[in-house]
Structure 1
Amino acid sequence: MKVSGMLGSDLAMAPLAAAELENRGYDALFTAEINNDPFLPLLMAAEHSQAIRLTTSIAVAFARNPMTVAQQVWDINQFSGGRVSVGLGSQIKPHITRRFSMPWSRPAARMGEFVRAMKAIWHSWQTGEKLAFEGEFYNHTLMTPMFTPPNNGCEAPRVNVAAVGPLMTETAAGVADGMIAHGFTTPKYLREVTLPAVERGLETSGRERSDFEINCPAMVVCGTDEASFKQNLQAVKAQLGFYASTPAYRPVLELHGWGDLQTEANALTRQGRWDELGNLIDGDILDNFALVCEDLAQMPTAFKSRFGTLIDNWQCTFESGDAETQRQLLTAIRNTEN
């Protein structure tokens, strides 16, 4: 299993953070599009690292178009010596239409076409072949030599698509190199919903499961001492409560018979009672959505037992203390047998 670490969005800290993540032994680092652009810190990370893989997790696809994303990712990939992959997410309709003022329709179909268009653009830049992508949502049919970027021989970047529901998951497995499962997921949901959808998508593209990478920011409650454990516990419960309030994630709860939790959590958000969301997460819900392990030494074995057959890359946001402790933890996760 591979392990990725979160870079963060502070441009001033990106050089040091990238070097530290590489020093700690992460296989990759990732940026997220929350309240900052995800590509700028990735560029700085490329300059201040040597071998670690670089990715967005995620960049909002529908806030952009295939050409703009293709250009940004191509440039960073060339600059980094071919270490970049791009993780794309659809976001939800209110953000696309009201925050970004961009069109929204049939997100799975649009995402599939977005990825195909982007790959067609890269293929044109790599081979010199005429760009002739025509689809339902995107058309890219003009590429002159003046606007064709330099190619230093790097392979085209890999593409991961964020997915929760079966339709987007199947789409991801049909067109992308990997998927990013949501942190608000459970082993049961991965086994019964995600993996069957992946297999259906892979069948349409004529690939095997080994050709496709499943990334997941699986949640962990752990700590180096009692105080850090309790702090981490409260933070994870609050995050789970926030996710539970989102209508798009209700199917994950319904699989476990907890659909009413989404209604209750959503009502709290409408009343502005954000600080109370974590109180809705009882022990049973917590244990299904997060790996709870009070003994840090036992965490790698427990993690591999829980996720080892389900995911290929853990997007780790869990901090275990000093650099050496984190390095040992990552090594143990990679080496522990399922």
Structure 2
Amino acid sequence: MQRSLVLSTNAFRPLIEVARQAEAAGFHRLWTTESTPRDALVRAVTLGLHTERIKVATGISYAFTRAPLAMAAAAADAHIATGGRFSLGLGAGTKGMRTRRYGIHDFDHPGPRLADYVRLLRAAWSAESGLSYNGPFYQASVPTPLVSGELQELPPLEVFGSGVNRRMLQDSAASCDGVALHPLVSYLPYLDRVARPALGEKTQIAAWRVTSVHEDAGEARELARRNLAFYFTTPSYAPVVEGGRWAKTVTTIRDTFRAEPTLSWQELAAHVPDEMVEDFCLTGTPADIDQRARELENDLAERGVHELVFQIAGIGLAADEFVDACRRLLDALAPGGARA
């Protein structure tokens, strides 16, 4: 199984050295994240230009912030700039994010819409004599060729979809080359019950896992605990635990946050027991984390996952702390025992 790293932080320039270290350590891919203060595409290209071999991908870029043809052009340029090492990870975000943060209210039916979006991307990348596209959500008419000779000389530009609920996962699997699984979706009971049946048998699957490496095992769990508290304040993630052992815990987290929204993530994390951290996250000391990762890889491989993506437990970490956490992870989890 391939090992990759996702860089989920607002810090930017320090990630260049992290990327170089990940490449030297033999990691498969770097995934860049997007939020209101950061752009995943710009970050992926930047890291790709400062490395030579490691793959780069957006994990994820928001489809709703970019018109499909604008995204097609940006992704094509990213693939060319990185010498064919780029993959485009796309997502719809949550409804609350789309409306409250970005003021976008017309990204309805996100699963079918995202699938139509991807079909238009592919049409644009192969439009040798102009483009005429008429889908259920998007239309485009361009009389001139859109094909780039430089793009055609490279390996195909892969698209990864994403999602949490069954319909989003099904639409992503049907329209994309692969699916990037949110760390909550890679929770094994939910993966078995909902995600894996929705994805089919031919889909490439990259599974995120919140990961924390620290000399103090208790501190490693504490850092991961904050990430779970952060995620489960979002109502749309509740179905991941519906009917399971953590449903009441998630309700408590959400109700507590609603009643006291000024609580810190550390305070809210007090509601997350160690057993829940073990179920959702990968934590440990430098001495034992690799063995834990191998056990997880075995579990995921049995479910058709081909890439394990380590996500630093970064909630509440300053930029220098995040970089230190990356270095601990890279040293402890380098593929094949390599060391940066």
Q: TM-score, normalised by structure 1?
A: 0.85
Which whole-Å CA distance do the structure 2 matches of 1:197 and 1:253 have between them? 17
Q: Is 1:194 aligned to 2:184, yes or no?
A: no
Separation in structure 1 between the aligned mates of residue 18 and residue 326 of structure 2, nearest angstrom: 16
**Structure 1: stretches of 5+ with no match in the other structure:** 200-208, 334-338
Q: Deviations over 1:102-129 (max 9, x none)?
A: 22211111111111111111111xxx13
> Percent of aligned pairs with the same residue?
23
For residue 51 of structure 1, the aligned residue among 48, 53, 56 is: 53
State how many pairs are aligned. 315
With over 3 angstroms needed to count, the CA separation of the structure-2 counterparts of 1:289 and 1:297, relative to structure 1, is closer
Once the two structures are overlaid, the 10-residue window that deviates more, 150-159 or 168-177, is 150-159
Query: 1: CA distance between counterparts of 2:123 and 2:282?
Result: 40
Q: Which residue of 2 aligns with 1:205?
A: none
The answer (yes or no) to whether the contact 1:11–1:40 under 8 Å persists in 2 is no
- Contact 2:226/2:269 (8 A) holds in 1: yes
Q: d(CA) in 2 for partners of 1:171 and 1:45?
A: 30
Cα drift, residue 322 of structure 1 = 5.3
Q: Which has the higher contact order (CA 8 A, sep 6+)?
A: 2
| Aligned position for 2:291 | 298
Helix, strand or coil for the counterpart of 2:308?
strand
Residues in 1 aligned to 2:249 and 2:96: alpha-carbon distance in whole angstroms: 22
Corresponding residue number in structure 2 for 1:38 = 40
Q: Which residue of 2 aligns with 1:19?
A: 20
Q: Which of 332, 336, 339 matches 1:326?
A: 332
| Residues 308/92 of structure 1: CA separation in 2 closer, same or farther (3 Å cut) | same
Q: What SS does the corresponding residue of 1:317 show, helix, strand or coil?
A: strand
Q: Which residue type is aligned with residue 151 of structure 1?
A: E
TM-aligned CA distance change 1:306 to 1:14, over 3 Å: same
**Which of 208, 212, 224 pairs up with 1:217?**
208
Q: Which amino acid is 1:179 matched to?
A: V
Q: Secondary structure at the match of 1:301?
A: helix
Task: Say which SS state the counterpart of residue 131 (structure 2) adopts.
Answer: coil
Question: Which range moved further: 73-82 or 282-291?
Answer: 282-291
Shift of residue 287, structure 1, vs aligned partner: 2.4
Q: 1:38/1:307 Cα in 2 relative to 1: closer, same or farther (>3 Å)?
A: same
For residue 79 of structure 2, what is the aligned residue in structure 1?
77
Residue identity in the other structure for 2:275: D
CA distance in 1, matches of 2:39, 2:326: 27
Q: 1:301 to 1:39 in 2, by over 3 A?
A: closer
Return the letter of the residue paired with 1:280: H
- The match for 1:115 is 118
Any idea what the Cα deviations from partners look like across 1:277-315, whole Å, max 9, x if unmatched? 211111332222124545235324322233232321111
Q: CA deviation at 1:248?
A: 0.9
Aligned residues of 1:253 and 1:261 also touching (Cα < 8 A): no
More divergent stretch after superposition (300-309 vs 317-326): 317-326
Equivalent residue for 1:314, pick from 308, 311, 318 = 308
CA-to-aligned-CA distance 1:66-110 (integer Å, 9 cap, x gap): 111111110010121111101111111122123223222111111
Q: Distance in 1 between matches of 2:289 and 2:189?
A: 24
Give the distance between the partners of 2:92 and 2:284, measured in 1 at CA.
33
C-alpha distance in 2 between matches for 1:297 and 1:134: 49
Distance in structure 1 (CA, Å) of the matches to 2:38 and 2:330: 30
Q: What secondary structure, in the 3-state scheme, does the structure 1 residue paired with 2:150 have? A: coil
Q: After TM superposition, give the deviation of residue 222 of structure 1 in Å.
A: 4.3
Q: Give the equivalent residue in structure 2 for 1:203.
A: none
Instruction: Determine the C-alpha separation between the residues in 2 that align with 1:261 and 1:181.
Output: 22
Distance change in 2, residues 1:159/1:255 (3 Å): farther
33-42 or 280-289, larger mean C-alpha shift: 280-289
How far residue 13 of structure 1 moved from its aligned partner, in angstroms, is 3.0
Q: 1:150 to 1:17 in 2, by over 3 A?
A: farther
CA contact (8 A) 1:108 1:171 kept: yes
Determine the structure 2 residue equivalent to 1:206: none
